[in-house]
Amino acid sequence: MGRDYYAVLEINRNATDTDINKAYRRLALKHHPRGSSHACSAERFILLAEAFDVLSDPRKKATYDKFEEEGLKGGIPSELGASGAWSSGYTYHGNAEETFRQFFGGDNPFADFFTTDGSEVNTGLSTLRGQKEKIQDPPIERDLHLALEDLYYGCTKKIKISRRVMNEDGLTSSIRDKILTFNVKAGWSEGTCITFPNEGDQGPNNIPADIVFVIRQKHHPRFVRQNDDLYYTAHISLEKALTGFSVEVETLDSRLLNIPINDTVHPQYNKVVTGEGMPLASSPSRRGDLIIRFITHFPEKLSAKKQQLLKQALTDPIINI
């Protein structure tokens, strides 16, 4: 009587493809010569590989289920064979390590499933031919520092990255450079993310990570940005704060604004210039506001005469003419 491949894998004849895959995975890891101290493990490991090679292939399995091992390996007479059945004799190639490698994937798959002390690592498998499920590496985030002018106008950026790429043989890899190009849209704000899917290091058993660039805004010598508004700080004297003046502001697009200030500049006073802020990312034709804040510089010392004149000017009653 021939071998019972179902018994070898410790499953019944109604086992599904998933059952076959799970059984081989469990037993192959258990009896792999590099993970077991039993002398008979090598022989059992080869037999497990042969059983899986037959039962995981629909044509071989169909022939085995109908004609057992004798018909599978001896060949099926043409008058007995059904359409699609195995007609020539089957011979297992005998390389159990190759079956193991094809099942789990990778150049050294055994290392992926055992720790240094030989204990099994819990990994997920797909149901397709028992291949190890590929898990994507975590995203790789990098800060991208841009000038405020870049975010005002929009621009095109090119960044060179170095990453590990699989060679054509599917087993070895090498480090190669790649240029990533993307457009920065006018009005983008700090924290905006640009994602390049699957541009991380490649490997036989992984899905490459996404590379994510996070926009960081560089310090600007004139403006502070808050959302779509730009804040500008003007330094003025007490005289100007009380009597009025004009303030000049050079915009990001190099225009010179001359803004009259006719109000008394008190500590909470801000001057709002509508439509002179950052473009809105959702509607670049619209803009936020330019908000001017003031720092008033007081004189360090006043002569007695100036003090008297100032006191008189501030306390004289208002005369209506």
Q: Is the pLDDT of residue 233 over 90?
A: yes
Is 2.60.260.20 the CATH number for 223-315? yes
In angstroms, the CA 75 to CA 154 distance is: 71
Q: Out of 2.60.40.10, 2.60.260.20, 3.40.640.10, 2.40.30.70, which CATH number does the structure's domain 135-217 have?
A: 2.60.260.20
Helical pair 41-55 and 58-74, crossing angle rounded to 10 deg: 120
The predicted model gives 242-265 an average pLDDT of 94
Query: In this structure, how many other beta carbons lie within 10 angstroms of the beta carbon of residue 121?
Result: 10
**pLDDT computed for residue 142 by the predictor:** 92
Confidence (pTM): 0.54
Query: What is the mean predicted confidence (pLDDT) over 108-117?
Result: 47
Whether 140 and 214 have beta carbons less than 8 Å apart is answered as: no
Q: Class of the 5-113 domain?
A: mainly alpha
pLDDT per residue as tens digits for the range 142-175:
999 999 999 999 999 999 999 888 888 777 788 9
Task: Tell me whether domains 135-217 and 223-315 share a fold.
Answer: yes
Mean pLDDT of 13-42: 79
- Looking at residue 249, its pLDDT comes to 96
239, 236, 238, 255: which is closest to 247 by C-alpha? 236
> What is the rounded distance in angstroms from the CA atom of residue 185 to the CA atom of residue 162?
26
Say what the pLDDT of residue 125 is: 38
H helix intervals, the chain = 5-8, 17-31, 41-55, 58-74, 96-104, 109-113, 148-153, 238-243, 304-315
Band (pLDDT 50/70/90 cuts) for residue 203 is confident
Predicted confidence (pLDDT) at residue 59 exceeds the cutoff of 90: no
pLDDT of the residue at 127: 38
Euclidean distance between CA atoms 11 and 114, whole angstroms: 24
Check: CB of residue 279 under 8 Å from CB of residue 252. no
Q: What is the pLDDT of residues 126-138, one digit of tens each?
A: 433 445 567 888 8
Domain ranges of the chain: 5-113, 135-217, 223-315
